[in-house]
Amino acid sequence: MALPPHLLARLVAEALHEDLGPGDLTTRSIVPEGMEGAAVIRTRAPVVVAGAGIAILVFRRLDPELVVCARAEEGASLPAGASVLELRGRARALLSGERTALNLLGRLSGIATLTRRFIEAAAPHRPEISDTRKTTPTLRVVEKYAVAAAGGVNHRFGLWDAILIKDNHVDLAGGVRQAIERARAGAEGMQVEVEVRDLRELREALQAGADAVLLDNFPPASLAEAVNLARGKAKLEVSGGVTLETIPSIAALGVDRISIGALTHSAASADLTMRITTCRT
């Protein structure tokens, strides 16, 4: 998944402005303007890396001549104590960009790390492990990027790029069949996915020709029957309260996709540290 450069530039600019405002008072007071520095960003715990390129953009916005050595590819699994980035440039830029860079790199690497854990827990059945729209406002693109970097699958990016009929749509339309028929008429040629709440709605969705069905918060006892009903008729997605403990049994049923909001709304930031020293001439 490629990240649009103009969106990254805007994100980095806004993030730095939030932290720096009119200037870094502490660094300006203590660090001489011409001092050169070297920095290393390391892991403090095992991590799957995502967002190193964004961290580099943070520092390069403050020092366009920054020299960077990336020690890990995006999506790589690193042990504790591993080097992620090595940087050399203006010491003021390294200090002023440190927290913004670590916040972004830590956030995205935390999402990637949790995504990889879910993927591994679902093996060997290999359903798609997908994100949702439960993302941090204005950070959706980069958070979904982190999911993809770890091997996950991006669900729709917004309300504009896919049809997913939710329970409120069904209620307002007067039923599952009516909602599907209206969606097909209103967005001809698009795949139609519908969320169902029980086996009765599932049967109605299949009869109406839904391309995919989302089983949201389905009782575990009903999941196996739902899989048997939908097999060969529609793709089946499971969502709602999926945990690392429950995903192995869900994946074993043979569902096509498991979507997990926790990938982006509950991932802990990766534990990273950055040490800066003066450069020897």
Omega of the bond prior to 248 within 30 degrees of 0, cis? no
Active site residue 74: no
Q: Which is the catalytic residue, given 99, 156, 203, 235? A: 99
CA-based nearest residue to 105, from 121, 119, 85: 85
70 strand-pairing partners: 85
Q: Which is the catalytic residue, given 36, 216, 256, 271? A: 216
Q: Which is the catalytic residue, given 24, 195, 201, 237? A: 195
Active site residue 134: yes
Q: Which is the catalytic residue, given 60, 117, 166, 235? A: 166
**Separation CA 202–CA 25 (nearest Å):** 61
**Separation CA 123–CA 43 (nearest Å):** 26
Active site residue 166: yes
Q: Which is the catalytic residue, given 134, 156, 184, 197? A: 134
The answer to whether 85 and 52 are in contact (CB under 8 A) is yes
Q: What is the DSSP letter of 238?
A: E
Q: Could you write out the DSSP letters of every residue in 81-148? A: T-EEEEEEEEHHHHHHHHHHHHHHHHHHHHHHHHHHHHHHHHTTT-PEEE--S---TT-HHHHHHHHH
**Separation CA 58–CA 113 (nearest Å):** 22
Count of beta carbons in the 10 Å neighbourhood of residue 221:
7
Which residues are marked as active site? 99, 134, 166, 195, 216
